[in-house]
Amino acid sequence: MNNPKLEDIVSLSKRRGFIFPGSDVYGGLSGTWDYGPLGVALKRNVMQLWWKMFVEDRDDMFGIDAAILMNQKVWQASGHVDTFTDPLVECSNCHGRFRADKIDTSKCPSCGLKDTFGEPRAFNMMFKTNVGPVADENSISYLRPETAQGIFTNFKNVVDSLYPDMPFGLAQQGKAFRNEISPRDFVFRSREFEQMEIEYFVHPDQWEAEFEKWVKAVHAWCDALGLPAESIHELEVPESDRAHYSKRTIDFEFDFPIGREELLGLAYRTDFDLKNIERVSGKSMAYRPKDGGEPFVPHVIEPSFGLERAIMAVLTAAYTEDEVNGEKRAYLKLPKHLAPVKVAVSPLLKNKPELVDKAREVYSMLKKEFGAVTWDDNGNIGKRYRRQDEIGTPYCVVIDFDTLEDNSVTVRDRDSTEQKRVTIAELAGQLV
Ligand code: ATP
């Protein structure tokens, strides 16, 4: 894998319309990011791939889409109100605030003075709000800090309405919000981000075997994102660092430009969440086996994927520099199924109506076939190739004077830069 610098990725993302700082025109809002035309296409491709792999292609998985705002009891029962905190320290000199476990607390990283920090205090990361016009204790709600609880709270609804065979999983994609003390490293640590989470419900005797299957499924996912196997590292989280209810957690780490950091997590959460719901709601979460066996409260394996970190990993793995005809080139070697634009179509010259007409015909045909096809007639052909390479477009199709004679076009490959002639009749089949 190439080893791009973070600033290469940040600047390409902004320059080419993938990801912009949130509220940019007003000077920004720390920890928020906006996706531009190419970024949203990439993001949707990643989300769709995930949905296909983990929901559509399987018989044991079902989707869910819960509300972001939930009854405050959800977060009391789950423990988030009391314990979803990070340790916060404040410098007595410059009043800078930092996450104590992420800095060397003997010296302030902002003003540089020594011994200015007192004892850390627990800072709750949930964004609090009130639902409705009356702001009192009863109307408190939170922007969800994870999508998982929206799945647990619907477990009974799904069992009552669908009664799936055990084991089965529920999958959800959506926004999550955390008031991170120090958002940093591009989208890696944001205050508003997107999660793709699965709660996989199993009989307690089966958790170990099912956990192993999920380890494999996670690797298959990383592979489908085009991440080299050697850049993925399993970190078996030691008991002292695990949540108290988790019997086993693996953090899947990736070699980001900022170092080896968590890409996603896989945790065995026992029956902690469903038992909490039983305790606070007074409703049974037991599953009645179809073979007449004893009802039981299922245990849960949770693969939790962060979309922003997946995108940052995809961009890191794809960012490539090489030399073409003695000139340096930077391009995104994205897997074809993730590329925001699949094909760019160009007439060789934009002031020759017969070329433009023919190129428009080819463009319409390919657009019908692939959707994400772009028209590019700016600048000379070399410049068009570079521009498309930079955003990861796998193919450029050029219509020239020969096309008018023999109905063939030039197809230029992003990675090899090779060009070949293909007839229009065979074109769509050659580009899949
Ligand atoms: P970290 O230790 O990096 O703060 P975490 O262990 O708190 O992460 P989880 O609660 O396990 O993270 O969340 C599951 C996934 O959600 C993470 O693996 C990550 O991909 C994503 N995620 C968590 N926090 C953020 C954030 N602030 N910005 C972007 N993605 C995040």
Q: Is it the case that residue 412 has pLDDT exceeding 90?
A: yes
CATH no. for residue 387? 3.40.50.800
Q: Is it the case that residue 113 has pLDDT exceeding 90?
A: yes
Give the residue, out of 179, 182, 193, 194, with the most ligand 1 atoms within 8 A of its beta carbon, to mutate for a pocket test: 193
Whether residue 332 is contained in a domain is answered as: no
- Let me know whether 221 and 369 are in one domain: no
Query: Hunting for tokens 């025109």 — which residue is that?
Result: 25
- Let me know whether 265 and 388 are in one domain: no
Whether residue 92 is contained in a domain is answered as: no
Q: How far apart are CA 252 and CA 243, in angstroms?
A: 16
The reported pLDDT for the residue numbered 381 is 93
Residue 165 DSSP symbol: P
CATH no. for residue 209? 3.30.930.10
CA-to-CA dists, residue 362 to 3, 190, 296, angstroms: 38, 42, 60
Whether residue 115 is contained in a domain is answered as: no
Whether residue 226 is contained in a domain is answered as: yes
Question: What is the signed CA dihedral for 57, 59, 60, 64, rounded to 10 degrees?
Answer: 60
Question: How far is the centre of ligand 1, averaged over its atoms, from the C-alpha of 306 (Å)?
Answer: 6
Judge if pTM exceeds 0.75: yes
Environment class of 341 (CB within 10 Å of its CB; exposed 0-12, middle 13-18, buried 19+): buried
Q: How far apart are CA 373 and CA 50, in angstroms?
A: 22
What atom in ligand 1 is closest to the CA of residue 307? 20
Q: Is it the case that residue 2 has pLDDT exceeding 80?
A: no
Question: How far is the centre of ligand 1, averaged over its atoms, from the C-alpha of 84 (Å)?
Answer: 12
- Let me know whether 211 and 295 are in one domain: yes
Q: How far apart are CA 320 and CA 340, in angstroms?
A: 17
Residue nearest to atom 27 of ligand 1 (CA): 189
- Let me know whether 273 and 350 are in one domain: no
Q: How far apart are CA 204 and CA 298, in angstroms?
A: 7
Cα-atom radius of gyration of the chain, to the nearest Å?
25
What atom in ligand 1 is closest to the CA of residue 310? 20
- Let me know whether 220 and 298 are in one domain: yes
Whether residue 52 is contained in a domain is answered as: yes
- Let me know whether 135 and 257 are in one domain: yes
The confidence band for 245, taking pLDDT boundaries of 50, 70 and 90, is confident
Q: Is it the case that residue 31 has pLDDT exceeding 70?
A: yes
What atom in ligand 1 is closest to the CA of residue 264? 18
- Let me know whether 309 and 408 are in one domain: no
Whether residue 106 is contained in a domain is answered as: no
- Let me know whether 377 and 287 are in one domain: no
- Let me know whether 401 and 259 are in one domain: no
**Beta-carbon count within 10 A of 74 CB:** 23
Task: State the average pLDDT over residues 271-290.
Answer: 97
What is the number of helices (H) and of strands (E) in the chain? 13, 21
What atom in ligand 1 is closest to the CA of residue 178? 27
Whether residue 198 is contained in a domain is answered as: yes
Q: Is it the case that residue 180 has pLDDT exceeding 70?
A: yes
The reported pLDDT for the residue numbered 1 is 60
- Let me know whether 287 and 367 are in one domain: no
Whether residue 325 is contained in a domain is answered as: no
- Let me know whether 298 and 360 are in one domain: no
Q: What is the pLDDT of residues 144-177, one digit of tens each?
A: 999 999 999 999 999 999 999 999 999 999 999 9
Domain count, the chain: 2
The reported pLDDT for the residue numbered 3 is 85
Task: State the average pLDDT over residues 53-82.
Answer: 97
Report the share of the chain in percent with pLDDT over 90: 97
Given a contact cutoff of 8 angstroms between Cβ atoms, the answer to whether 422 and 408 are in contact is yes
Domain that holds residue 142: 6-84+125-316
Task: State the average pLDDT over residues 84-106.
Answer: 93
The confidence band for 432, taking pLDDT boundaries of 50, 70 and 90, is confident
- Let me know whether 302 and 362 are in one domain: no
Q: What residue type is 109 in one-letter code? A: P
Question: What is the signed CA dihedral for 11, 14, 19, 23, rounded to 10 degrees?
Answer: 120
Task: State the average pLDDT over residues 133-143.
Answer: 97
User: Mean of the per-residue pLDDT values for the chain?
Assistant: 96
The token duo for 36 is: 């531009």
> In angstroms, how far is CA 282 from the centroid of its own chain?
35
